[in-house]
Amino acid sequence: MFASARSTTLLGVVGRCVDVEVHVGIGLPGFTIVGQPDEVCRESRDRVRAAFLSRGFVWPNRRITVNLAPSGERKGGSGLDLAIAVAVLVADEQLPPSVLDGHAFVAELGLDGSLRDVVGAAPLVAAVRDRAVVVAAGNGAAALAAGARRVLVASDLAHAVACLRGDDEWLAHDGTSASPALESLPDLSDVRGQPVARLALEIAAAGAHHLLFVGPPGAGKSMLARRLPSILPPLTDDQALSCTMVHSAAHTALPSTGRIEHPPFRAPHHSVSLVGMIGGGTAAMRPGEVSLASDGVLFLDELGEFAPSVLDALRQPLEEGVVRVSRARTTLSLPARFLLVAAANPCPCGSGAPGVCVCDDAARARYLRRFSGPLLDRFDLRVSVGLPHVDDLVGSRTGEASAVVRHRVAVARAAAMARQGTVNAALAIDQLDVAAPLTPAARAVLRRELEAGRLSGRGLHRVRRVARSIADLHGVHEIVAEDHVALALQMRTALATLVGGSR
Amino acid sequence: MSSPQHGSVGNYDESTVAAALASLSGVGPARLRTLVVSLGAHDAWRTVRGELPARDHIAALLRDGDLGRLWCREATPELLDRTAAALSAGNMRVLLIDDPEYPPVLRNDHAAPAVLFVRGNLAACAARRVGIIGTRSASAAGRHFARRLGTQLAAAGVAVVSGLARGIDAAAHRGVLEPTDTSPPGAPIGVVASGLDVVYPREHSALWHDVATRGVLMSESPPGCKPDAFRFPLRNRLLAALSEVLVVVESRATGGSMITVEEAAKRGVTVMAVPGSPHVATSEGANLLLAQGCAPVCTVDDVLVALGLDHRRAHPQRDPRPTPSAADRRVVDALLARPLTFDDLVASLGERAVDVALSLGRLEASGWVTCTAGWWEALLVA
């Protein structure tokens, strides 16, 4: 008469438990789903009925009411199909009520009764990880990565029912034989020459400083940025899990192990919409690019081409490490602790060099107006990259490999964490004097730049943080010396001096 | 005879009426000269309005492309009121070509403007005059040179003529306005294309004000006139006509500076050019001029000699900057050929980025190098 099966729906990057209650009773034959189902959810009525008939189950010709509890929240997605089907079977007394105990069901049904993969399997399963979770074959790896107590894989509805009855064996899921071989990331040894650009990547990785490359087309800005994940410290278990959750929820391809092992790299095209960047959109609140890049790198090529509203929306997540999305029905926080790397041309013609650039002042000023000042200010590192030299390109000398650089970065980061418990880019201003004390010579350099008007008060703090990272990379973990500050100053080109070009 | 009414042409003096005539659409230097010189401003105004009969070449002028009907519509008493208000609001004076204050050097020119709008003190035009011109998108080294040349010429008592454009022009006048240890700021002569109350480019409004305060700002465009493209070549002929010697600091092979050079050549004005690296596109025009036989300008003495002034007492030739160390010298030498980014510099020197950064910091502080938007350039003279 009545049955209740456990399943989950997705909101943002977390699954929420849903009890699928089914009542089969007297009345006109019919099938209704209540409890705020969305369009996909309501259509499961037809899928479940067709799956019953395809697999030879008897469809109860009575009044069937499905309630998705808690009924106050909106439910979306097709992951409830299997739970509805099993609950109907129990309520119609074709299955004993005991099969529902300790189980949860996360799968979509095909019209032929087969079990299909669902979007966001990892966070969905994580919400019911204390139970034995029945999933489709393709979600086995993700369900295992989410840490479910038991993962049960079935091929179709009849198979799942037989297994629940104890008449058949669950399938072996393919996540168990996860190969430890990691997919190879692009390596820094491919970069020939460009010593300063390489150095900028290393400093950015060590101190988690946001980085802007300015250079002509063909300078290898994208190539450099793509190699940043290979020198970042490896993800911790917590970070790997949270990355996996986000990527699963956004339905991006997961590695064969079902678990993300490397810092992610996201490079959205400049036509990306505000919702695509920040998240939201559907009832399930799909995570945006900032969340997909969390714990990894968000690369914005052609920074000037992005819509200003999209760039301005980045400022809050850059400050807080989370992005709060509010819609009429829901408000939720999504992770957004990303390292921002951007690339821009120095001017419309792209060359930028004095005497070579053919842009007139108006065109250049118009181009620079596209960059919002507050966003440009967030970049601790602003580096000009030039075209690689022919000798470097055809020469046989390869650059330093990522593994070597990654080791230095890991040592520097560990030193920073041991000293102040945070990465250098996140040093508060009042912490600077304690965590990054300056030698008298270094202080004199900064004073000289401030007095000459080449450095602003805000830039001063950013330069000190970068100098802290440079000193850490040099193995100097206590004090910041003159050479560290001098290098940090060179790593922060003032774009604004392009305007007018008069002074 | 009835008393003159408000807005009637009789209320206004000759120069205000001439200014209003200059505001009519389609009036260029030649037509304005025809109207004002052959008829006088008042009669020209009445003729344009159809109150006096037009004769001979004036009639032909008015028939040309229906100008007569257009001007008749535009030449209203309101235009006179507006012009008079703009002149007094902008603190401008109007000099007709027969005005005793009109700069004699311009009056003798074959294409002298019939009406000149002036703000400031015309005494500067009586001094020796050198024009400094060049490209708007100049390199930092070029701007530095122009600025220094301006300062030194001003210290030698020479007035600097320039166009107040971005780049070289502005740098030269900024140099003139800079006092030295031994002399006060000089007297600049600024010649602009737009009306004197339309500052272009807008970021130069402080510079315009300073030029008008210390020296003189002049234009042949009436108040409110926009910086239309066709006005710049006309402005350039005034630059050439006002200069005794014209120095091209940096210029591309074509462009406004080269037009000024042509105008100077027509008038027999000595043209000199600052040699530049063949790697730098902004020095192409200057190098071309040198190849054609212009005298080079390497120091201010070259210009003073061309003017026939005594250059020996003018300046001590000592470079006040501290001599760079051997390591720093390598950085300066690498930058002398062409501007480089920090990345290029580190790659070409093959040294550690930290050492190059330290050198650049020291050199920038002592004035040997300068950085514009990520590009480093060496400065040869202090």
- The model's pLDDT over A130-139, given as tens digits with 9 standing for 90+, comes to 999 999 988 8
Same domain as B185, residue B136? yes
Q: For residue A450, count other CB atoms closer than 10 A to its CB.
A: 14
| 8 Å CB contact of A197 and B343 | yes
Q: Pick from B227, B269, B220: which is nearest to B105 by CA?
A: B269
CATH of the domain at B164: 3.40.50.450
Q: Pick from B336, B324, B330: which is nearest to B379 by CA?
A: B336
Same domain as B241, residue B338? no
- Residue B319 covered by a domain: no
* Whether A421 contacts A434, CB under 8 Å: no
Give the list of residues 6+ apart from residue B58 with CB closer than 8 angstroms, or none: B34, B35, B38, B39, B47
Same domain as B46, residue B150? no
CA distance A342 to A293: 13
Q: For residue B234, count other CB atoms closer than 10 A to its CB.
A: 19
Q: Pick from B42, B38, B35, B36: which is nearest to B12 by CA?
A: B42
- Residue B191 covered by a domain: yes
Number of structural domains chain B divides into: 3
Q: For residue A183, count other CB atoms closer than 10 A to its CB.
A: 9
| 8 Å CB contact of B282 and A355 | yes
Kindly list the structural domains of chain A, giving each domain's residue range(s) and its CATH number in brackets, ordered by start: 2-165 (3.30.230.10), 188-420 (3.40.50.300)
Query: Who among A355, A486, A500 is closest to B203 (CB)?
Result: A500
Of the two residues A82 and A355, the one the predictor is more confident about is A82
- Residue B101 covered by a domain: no
Structure tokens at A235: 């993800």
CA distance B42 to B47: 9
| 8 Å CB contact of A452 and B342 | no
Which residues of chain A does B171 touch, with a Cβ-Cβ cutoff of 8 Å? 502
- Residue B152 covered by a domain: yes
* Whether B257 contacts B285, CB under 8 Å: yes
Whether the CB of B279 is below 8 Å from some CB of chain A: the reply is yes
Mean pLDDT of B19-27: 89
Whether the CB of B371 is below 8 Å from some CB of chain A: the reply is yes
* Whether B249 contacts B300, CB under 8 Å: no
Q: pLDDT confidence of B314, banded at 50, 70, 90?
A: low
Chain A closest-CA separation from residue B62 CA (Å): 38
Q: Which domain holds residue B72?
A: 1-89
Q: Pick from A494, A439, A438, A493: which is nearest to A465 by CA?
A: A438
- Residue B273 covered by a domain: yes
Q: pLDDT confidence of A177, banded at 50, 70, 90?
A: very low
Q: pLDDT confidence of A171, banded at 50, 70, 90?
A: confident
Q: pLDDT confidence of B382, banded at 50, 70, 90?
A: low
The amino acid sitting at B240 is A
Q: Quick check: A190 pLDDT over 90?
A: no
Q: Quick check: B177 pLDDT over 60?
A: yes
Query: Who among A354, A383, A482 is closest to B139 (CB)?
Result: A354
Tokens 């004035």 correspond to B367
Same domain as B288, residue B186? yes
Coil, strand or helix at B352 = coil
Same domain as B266, residue B158? yes
Determine the pLDDT at residue A178: 46
* Whether A488 contacts A442, CB under 8 Å: no
Residue range A371-414, pLDDT digits in tens: 877 888 889 999 888 888 787 778 777 788 899 999 999 999 99
Coil, strand or helix at A30 = strand
Q: What is the pTM of this model?
A: 0.76
Burial class (CB in 10 A: 0-12, 13-18, 19+), A76: buried
Same domain as B187, residue B69? no
Q: Beta partners for B377?
A: B370
- DSSP code string of A276-328: HHHEE-STT-EE-HHHHTTTSEEEESSGGGS-HHHHHHTHHHHHHSEEEEE-S
The span from the first CA to the last CA of chain A, in angstroms, equals 84
Whether the CB of B334 is below 8 Å from some CB of chain A: the reply is no
| 8 Å CB contact of A354 and B357 | no
Average pLDDT score, chain B: 88
Residue range B188-235, pLDDT digits in tens: 999 999 999 999 888 899 999 999 999 999 999 999 999 999 999 999
Q: Beta partners for A341?
A: A211, A299
Coil, strand or helix at B346 = helix
ipTM over 0.90: no
B288 sits in the region (left: phi over 0; alpha: psi -120 to 50; else beta) called alpha
Determine the pLDDT at residue A107: 94
Mean pLDDT of B308-316: 68
Q: Quick check: A244 pLDDT over 60?
A: yes
* Whether B125 contacts B216, CB under 8 Å: yes
Whether the CB of B167 is below 8 Å from some CB of chain A: the reply is yes
Chain A closest-CA separation from residue B216 CA (Å): 22
What's A503's DSSP letter? -
CATH of the domain at B347: 1.10.10.10
* Chain A: residues touching B (Cβ < 8 Å): 193-197, 199, 214, 346, 352-357, 359-361, 383-386, 389, 392, 445, 448-449, 452, 454, 470, 482-484, 486-487, 489-490, 493-495, 497-498, 500-502
- Residue B342 covered by a domain: yes
Tokens 């301006």 correspond to B150
Same domain as B149, residue B291? yes
| 8 Å CB contact of B201 and A194 | no
Lowest mean pLDDT of A141-150, A435-444, A464-473, name the range: A141-150
Same domain as B350, residue B289? no
Percentage of residues of chain B with pLDDT beyond 70: 96
Q: Quick check: B373 pLDDT over 80?
A: no
